[in-house]
Chains A and B, each alone.
Chain A
Amino acid sequence: MPGTPSRSLARHADQVLYYACAVDEWYPWKWTSSLVATQAFVSCTDNVENVHGTIYVFRSRYDYLIGAAYYYGGWAGTMFFASGSCASSTWQYNAKLSYTIGTPSGEFEFDDDWGPSWISC
């Protein structure tokens, strides 16, 4: 009589739901003569039911929030975009994305930040 395995990998595999989202992040850039912008694109595995969150653009590290936008999108891909006023002298600009993925297991939150870009308007 064959021995009983101590565990079943297949059973574990059936129960585990793995979620992953890739975030493409664009460093802040000079969008117009008076505005800087940033954007991020979120794409997730098929088992992610929805994506929503907020993108921010800051001047001088994270001291001054100059723009933000909230989005609610689908799992297939969500583009986040925000812009804000650009100062006349050269400053560093940073961006941040806070987003939540809705899944059959509940919601998971992620925060990503990127930058800086040195921009003068």
Chain B
Amino acid sequence: MPVDNKSGRSRRWAWVVAAGMVTVVGLAVVAVLASTRQRSASPARHVARPTTIVVRRGEANGIPWTLKAYRNASGRLCVAFTEGGVSSLSTSGAKACGENVRGAPGLRHVGAAHSFALLGTLGGARSQRFPDFVAGPTAADVRRIDIVQSAGFPLHISTFAPPPSLDVALRFFVGFLPAGMKPQALVARSSNGRVLEDLFLPSSLPRSAIPHGPHGPTQVVTNVAVGY
């Protein structure tokens, strides 16, 4: 009988220990599952927003400007040039996304990519002080953009690298046209001056069908973009 009592106590202890272990393991499993669910749920609460990077700021005729860039939801690069620079509502400017430039992210184009893309105002007759501009991304090997005009020397615009935080293998350019300049072509050149690509602008820019009389428009701005 004592043996039986001892054996019974041992069995009871064994059950207690086993039950305790099951409880501990169970709690651990529940804790791990909860932790896993929490971790897997975390990303859904944070929707990635595009981070806008200021590529460069400057002034033209005393008026500030900003060149900004970001990746859109498709992973493509968006480039925006704005007069002013803080609020897009109160500034002139231009924006394009997914331009087909060599090295640009997120492109799924068929065919050759290009050395540069262009956004800007050309041939305008703006009465405001802000000059006509050209801006855009270039391939990494483009070190200069020349703006060729019919008379006079070409305007040389050096390209520059964006901040590393933008994480693209591209360069950018921003240039301003002297009043009255009529550009004929843009030429992208490498560091040794080799022509990588050129773009001839149309000889006639679109004009309004509305006659400019005493009650006509006070100014005309021609916005340009290049697509591929």
Contact = CB atoms under 8 A, between A and B. Distances in A.
Interface of A: 7, 9, 12-13, 15-27, 40-41, 43-45, 56, 61-62, 77, 96, 101, 103-114
Nearest to A13: B200
At the interface, is chain A mostly helix, strand, loop or mixed?
A: strand
B82 A43 contact: no
A92 to B, nearest CB: 13
B98 A106 contact: yes
A17 B227 contact: yes
B227 A22 contact: no
Nearest to B112: A15
Contact of A106 (B127, B195, B224, B227): B227
A25 B227 CA distance: 25
B119 interface: yes
Interface size class of B (residues with CB under 8 A): 35 or more
A90 B89 CA distance: 23
A118 to B, nearest CB: 14
B182 to A, nearest CB: 13
Given A13-B200, A113-B91, A106 B206 contact: no
B226 A23 contact: no
B163 to A, nearest CB: 23
Contacts of B195: 7
Contacts of A18: 199, 201-202, 224-226
B174 interface: no
B54 interface: no
Contacts of B193: none
15 contacts: A15-B111, A20-B205, A20-B206, A22-B205, A22-B221, A24-B208, A24-B219, A43-B206, A106-B96, A106-B98, A108-B95, A110-B95, A111-B82, A111-B93, A114-B218
